[in-house]
Amino acid sequence: MAVIISGKAVSAKIRESLRQEAALLAEQGVTPGLAVILVGDNDASRRYVNNKKKGCEEIGLYSQVHELPTETTEAELLDLIARLNADANIDGILVQLPLPAHIDEKAVIKAINPDKDVDAFHEQNAGRILLGNARFLPCTPAGIMELLASEGIDPSGKEAVVIGRSNIVGKPMAMLLLQANATVTICHSKTKNLPDIVRRADIVVAAVGRPKFVTADMVKPGAVVIDVGMDRDENGRLCGDVDFEAVKDVAGYITPVPGGVGPMTITMLLKNTITAARAWIS
């Protein structure tokens, strides 16, 4: 039976530390500020935005939520970002993805001041991550590294497989594992013999967006299995990319869904916002 890595527990510890940091900044007259922009009426996105707002309130950050209708034009969105870039009360800007189809996500991300890009999606910040000189660490991969550290799991010398190659999780996750001296393989939809590759891994990060994609026969006994997925199974129940009930009997460590990676993503966003605020006063 695998050790269950609780993102809720690890997140709570980190947030307490962040709350103390925010209090120290407040004594210097600085309240870190986060602006979140939501375009459209996607229920999942709205839940994420609400959780981010609650996280700010919990640790003492200032937050703004800008809810825009689906028909908002790209020019209108870019104008709002420009105003937030110039707002001294805002240290971090996050545009909730996905955006409506008529808006160019790349143009929107590029418009955010890299110093306020607390999601670390801007091409300048992505480049810094690649070079190992990150201004901010991408939230979900950074949260996963914290989860590994919480259990004393050192990636150095281990074989790691990342399933998924998105700019948000897969690619930066591979970079952070590589920088931690793991030997990293990225698998994707064109990978041949994917189960055989995953079966070699000491650390598996599943970020493919397919319910229960990773099955017990794909997992090396004792492996660390990190589930980034947020899916619905055949009964409409929340699940991840990993068949948790089956895999937990094979793996050495595993994250649940919900309560695993999810809480860490928002916590790392809060951490990045405080980092951005510190940079402005240093």
Active-site annotation, residues: 52, 96, 119
C-beta neighbour count of 41 within 10 angstroms: 10
Dihedral angle computed from the Cα positions of residues 233, 36, 116 and 148, in that order, rounded to the nearest 10 degrees: -30
DSSP 115: G
Beta carbons of 238 and 258 less than 8 angstroms apart: yes
DSSP string, 10-61: HHHHHHHHHHHHHHHHHHTT---EEEEEEES--HHHHHHHHHHHHHHHHHT-
In DSSP terms, which residues pair with 159 in a beta bridge?
183
C-alpha span between 257 and 249 (Å, rounded):
16
Cβ-Cβ contacts under 8 Å for 174 (sequence gap 6 or more): 160, 162, 184, 186
56, 68, 86 from 64: Cα distances, Å: 10, 13, 14
In DSSP terms, which residues pair with 34 in a beta bridge?
63, 92
C-beta neighbour count of 106 within 10 angstroms: 10
C-alpha span between 100 and 82 (Å, rounded):
19
Instruction: Tell which phi-psi region holds residue 4, choosing left (phi > 0), alpha (psi between -120 and 50) or beta.
Output: beta
Token code pair at residue 26: 């407040």
